[in-house]
Chain A
């Protein structure tokens, strides 16, 4: 990327000022909260040490990560097929992929609930063999999986589309099966997109509330816990939990952003 001296470019300066407004809004909100929370440090420490809060944060992040692992196993093959083939009805498949993106989260929650509840189409038979989604960890995972899938699939697909078909063709004439060509050429070259897609969808999964409470109010993910404390304990209690969650998310995503610089970087001047 060319380094343009920003201060000498009027267009960039005005763009930065406009763009700064949106950042300013977020920063203002964060600062506002930080100042409030830091004014009562003993309270902050007490909430932070509350094992319910810690458990809930860990549960939320773990369930999100779990959903993303399943999403990668199922979503990567789908993304590749969408990137490399053209078939009748492809537009319909693409729309199905995007549906969770457009639906209100409560609607997504109902869809998931009806399918995975104890009497549901999938939930029913699984409940009979002792596997419950209602008010259980798997319910959280499946709700997160549903709402975050479009982010991952579309990002992976974009990555696959960026890999020139010629590279895959050459790999095949050199003796690689389609799967080997995928494994050795396409996947490494789209690793960044897959990684970024995974981070976005993880973030989306962690942030979910409505879809999750419909199938699994318990165990409480952080949004549920926050909402519960807000309605029972009031603003002071809940805003401190929010603050802790913000700190946790900010640090985790900052680290992941840094790591992304080391993933799938290659010189694509060829």
Chain B
């Protein structure tokens, strides 16, 4: 288990501020956030490559602040793979074991095994400069695993890979995580990877930990508008809580009332966030619906997303973005200027109390 307790760290222009994290043994943990948010620095801090200014890093309960990286059994794979350019593939993979002074035949055996496992046996005598990105990534991961780490740190491992290679490496990583019971901490700014691979995650923005928890909970219940925006909630609006029942709140936005499932108390400034995919569009009246929110809205733009989906921008007194299948957009002949009814269930609207009032 890795624990960050109130870790602060300054590196030139950049700073991590009071970051606390809990990564459990066996987690596939993602550190997510926009580029330049400090995610790589967190990995380096776990590996012991930076001294914190304040706070501490605990691994399996003991303070590691003074333990040098080579004694931690934590392997790090950088986004640029960082293979040793003056060593052939097999020397790269065997490097860690050589440093640990393991017997020669044990090193050879383990290197062979990893070369087989990653399907790169034919590359064993090649120099890294002659390998493709995907091949380099496999060598880098094999090298990281060779020294038998307890924790594997991956910095944007798919950033420079083509989609096919990317799928293969994702499959490799998921298999390694399953078979070797390894704790993996992966950094990314791409949302799709998280939902597929991670069980827990932390959102880091500008050196601050915004939210941490199981992936589902972070993605369904963002605690701030910054997280809501990052996890892809297209609709983020601010308003004031009006009168409501004990479990349904009515939020006033631009003179309209939006009903949401929330226990927030009246009078508070809040933001609401919901996904475009959770907005349904109806043409014409008379359709009974269980959705609590039904707004008459004018379409301002119809934007095909290039795939099976189309984004529809609406004005209902406040802006709404909806996501429909391109097929529906065609069937309903959605076009700018057209009036439609936008329906949103109260249960999909996330109410976020504003940061200043928290």
Contacts and interface: CB of A to CB of B under 8 A. Distances in A.
A59 interface: no
A174 B99 CA distance: 8
Interface stretch (A139-147, A163-171, A238-246): A163-171
Given A164-B82, A175-B70, A180 B130 contact: no
Interface stretch (A75-83, A209-217, A262-270): A262-270
A173 interface: yes
Contacts of B77: 170
B72 A173 contact: yes
B128 A270 contact: yes
A185 interface: yes
A166 B147 contact: no
Nearest to B81: A270
B143 A174 contact: yes
B68 A267 contact: no
Nearest to A170: B82
Q: Which range holds the interface residue count of chain A?
A: 20 to 34
B220 interface: no
Nearest to A180: B99
Given A173-B74, A184-B95, A167 B84 contact: yes
Nearest to B127: A267
A166 to B, nearest CB: 4
- Give the one of A166, A173, A189, A267 with max B CB within 10 A: A173
Contacts of A189: 84-86
Interface string A51-69: 0000000000000000000
A231 interface: no
Contacts of B143: 174
B80 interface: yes
A188 interface: yes
Contacts of A175: 70, 96-97, 99-100, 147
A166 B74 CA distance: 15
A169 B49 contact: yes
Given A266-B127, A270-B83, A172 B100 contact: no
19 contacts: A166-B80, A166-B82, A169-B44, A169-B49, A169-B78, A171-B99, A172-B47, A172-B69, A173-B48, A174-B99, A175-B97, A175-B99, A177-B70, A178-B68, A189-B84, A189-B86, A267-B129, A268-B129, A269-B129
Interface of B: 44, 47-49, 68-70, 72, 74-78, 80-86, 95-97, 99-100, 127-131, 136, 143-144, 146-147, 149, 153
Given A172-B49, A173-B47, 4 more contacts: A166-B82, A180-B70, A189-B85, A266-B85
Closest 10 pairs (CB-CB, A-B): A267-B129, A174-B96, A269-B129, A175-B99, A172-B69, A266-B86, A176-B99, A166-B82, A270-B128, A173-B76
